[in-house]
Amino acid sequence: MTGCISKNDGNGGKTHNIPKLRLSLSNLFVSIPIVIVIGTIWLAFVIFRQLLSILLKIWYGKRFGGMMSAADAIWMSKRESSPVIHALVVYKSKIKTADEFSAHIHEYARRLFLDDNPNTHTKINGIHKSFLGYTYYLNDMLTENDCHTVLNLDSIDKDYLEDSDLSDILDDCNKMPLPYKNKALWEVVTLSKPLKPDGDAHKYVVIFRVNHAFGDGLSAIYYLFHYIADKRADFVKDMSELVKKFGVGEDSDRGIMKKLKYFFRICYCIACAPIVVFNEQGFRKYTNSLHGPKLSGEKHFVYSTEHPDEHLMEAIRQIKKGVPRATFTGIIATGISRALQTYFITNCKEIPELVIGGTVALLSLPNLNGYPKLENNVCLGPVVLPMLRGRVSIQEQLKEVSEQIELLRDTPYFMVKYLLTVFFIGYFPSPITKFCLDQEVSATFSLSNIPGFPDTPSFGQETKDFYFFTPNLQRIGVGFCVLTYQDKLRIGLVVDKVLVPQKEAVQDLVDNVIKELRLMYEEYKLNNI
């Protein structure tokens, strides 16, 4: 049994709300001097970084690919967890051997190197290096042979892989450096053995591995599939429909009014930044066995999906339609909180009253017109999730979670975090960047979701399954990534081994999220008879 620390806010178990951030006169007296002092220091580092860029340009000449952007550079600071995103794709194919399939994938991968896209050329062909705490690129250092790896699985004593083998293979992939002694930002991995056939169709696995500095999940997916999708025009159209679901709306104002509104919003968020950072420290007291210990860097990769004959996505849509203010993220987060409650009951001496979930928000949508860009436009915000399974109805629990999400959206948290992440922290040298990141959201788990990813044949093959795994963020050792593909719910989970040594317990946790979503729908139907 693991000893869990159970804490609440001293109000009889009432959940801790995110404070409304309002600029009172006293707040201004505190914030403005801090902003001026830190802003002056930041400006000095920006100037130093620019001078360093000029020096490196003189030294390397045409090989110099520029400084890594501030939003990308935050993933270059030293951390316990690898910053690599993994996407596992299972293909059905008429190709008869694993060697032939790997050769086929290798030929397709060459398309990325034949691309003359000025927005992404350096990230595909270049490597990154560091000098005085800043990361920069060198152009044209890689070839297609560098970025395709065939993983030798001769140690597995059977002709065909089982689906259950893929979890251990992902664990092994996570331990591998990226090409060019970990200086490249991406690679494609194929396996030396096929999966067990599905009738007459052969099945093979491709694992895409990209450093998060390559781009956020949506940006990286769009870029890669823009070049390997069999029907690019259909894929771009489907992606255009997908990004509309992320809720990053267009401002109705135009011209000078839009610019003024944006300027004052930025000023307001800058003034709020010290308050946001200070308030985040209050979440550090909500610890448990999955939240607090120093991470080891060793990970469990597991995944789960709904049964082939059930329609869990339709059930989620019905819950969303029937419960006021319920959102897809809120429903998934509620399922995770209920599964975590089951985990704590099974494995811990005490059950925490609540957990803090770090929800990943996309503040800027990828441009789907013309050349795709590889950018990082995400930030993390805290959502309080009470352990209410068995204590209140599912409608009441969803209402509580929805209120927490709305409270987060009503405050400038996400905008402040976006400005800090994309435009501020990454301009400091990596040791200072790491210190700043360590002060960020203290949470039990992170949650990323990509709803409605289009059904996309690629590499000239039929896509059967698709799972996505995002790296653990800062000191958060539990990371859920939810992806809907072919209208089926797929959940990938990455957990640091220091938090949960047994892989079976991690697999039970992700399976229980699917189970809880199923039970939530059954309870919802009973309460609405």
pLDDT at residue 86 above 90?
yes
Residue 151 has pLDDT above 90, yes or no: yes
Task: Find tokens 């929800």 and name the residue.
Answer: 359
Residue type, 362: L
Q: What is the pLDDT of residue 363?
A: 67
Residues contacting 502, CB < 8 A, separation 6+:
none
Mean pLDDT score, 257-261: 64
Of 187, 198, 89, residue with least CA distance to 483: 89
Note whether 207 and 177 are within 8 A (CB).
Answer: no
What are the domain boundaries of the chain?
Answer: 39-279+294-306+376-386+404-455+468-501
Q: What is the mean pLDDT of the chain?
A: 82
Mean pLDDT of 436-450: 81
| Residue 362 β-bridge partners | 378
Confidence bin at 114 (pLDDT 50/70/90): low
At 33, the amino acid letter reads P
pLDDT for the residue numbered 6: 36
Q: Is the dihedral of CA 112, 116, 117, 119 positive or negative?
A: positive
What distance in Å separates the CA atoms of residue 41 and residue 29, rounded to the nearest whole number? 19
Model pLDDT for residues 502-527, shown as the tens digit of each residue: 999 999 999 999 999 999 999 888 87
Q: Does residue 416 or residue 12 have the better pLDDT?
A: 416
417 and 380 in contact (C-beta within 8 Å)? yes
CA atoms within 13 A on the CB side of 333: 31
Handedness of CA 345, 348, 349, 354 (dihedral sign): negative
More confident of the two residues 154 and 115: 154
Estimate the share of the chain in helix, then strand, then coil, as percent rounded to the nearest 5: 45, 20, 35
Q: What percent of the chain has pLDDT over 70?
A: 85
H helices then E strands: how many in the chain?
A: 15, 15
Share of the chain above pLDDT 90, in %: 35
Give the pLDDT of residue 215: 87
| Residue 128 pLDDT greater than 60, yes or no | yes
> 186-191 and 201-211: which strand pairing?
antiparallel
Predicted TM-score (pTM) of this structure: 0.88
Take residue 261 and report the two structure tokens written for it.
């509104």
| Mean pLDDT of all residues in 293-317 | 88
Neighbouring CB atoms inside 10 A of 57's CB total: 16
Q: Strand 478-485 to strand 488-496: parallel, antiparallel, or no bridges (unpaired)?
A: antiparallel
Identify the pLDDT of residue 12. 40
Judged against a pLDDT cut of 50, whether residue 388 lies above it is answered with yes
Q: How far is CA 325 from CA 335, 356, 398, 399, 451, in A?
A: 16, 20, 9, 7, 18
**pLDDT confidence of residue 486:** 83
- Least confident segment among 25-34, 245-254, 280-289: 245-254
- Kindly list the distances between the CA atom of residue 467 and the CA atoms of 85, 140, 188, 221, 264, in Å, as whole numbers in the listed order: 11, 31, 15, 12, 41
Given a cut of 80, whether residue 26 has pLDDT beyond it is no
Q: CB-side exposure of 169: number of CA atoms within 13 Å?
A: 29
- Residue 529 pLDDT class (50, 70, 90 cuts): low
Q: Model confidence over 309-363: pLDDT tens digits?
A: 888 989 998 998 888 888 888 899 999 999 999 999 998 887 888 888 888 877 6
Question: What is the tens place of the pLDDT at every residue in 186-214?
Answer: 999 999 999 998 888 899 999 999 999 99
Scanning the structure block, which residue is given the tokens 């951030």?
21
Residue (of 484, 462, 480, 463) closest to 471 by Cα position: 480
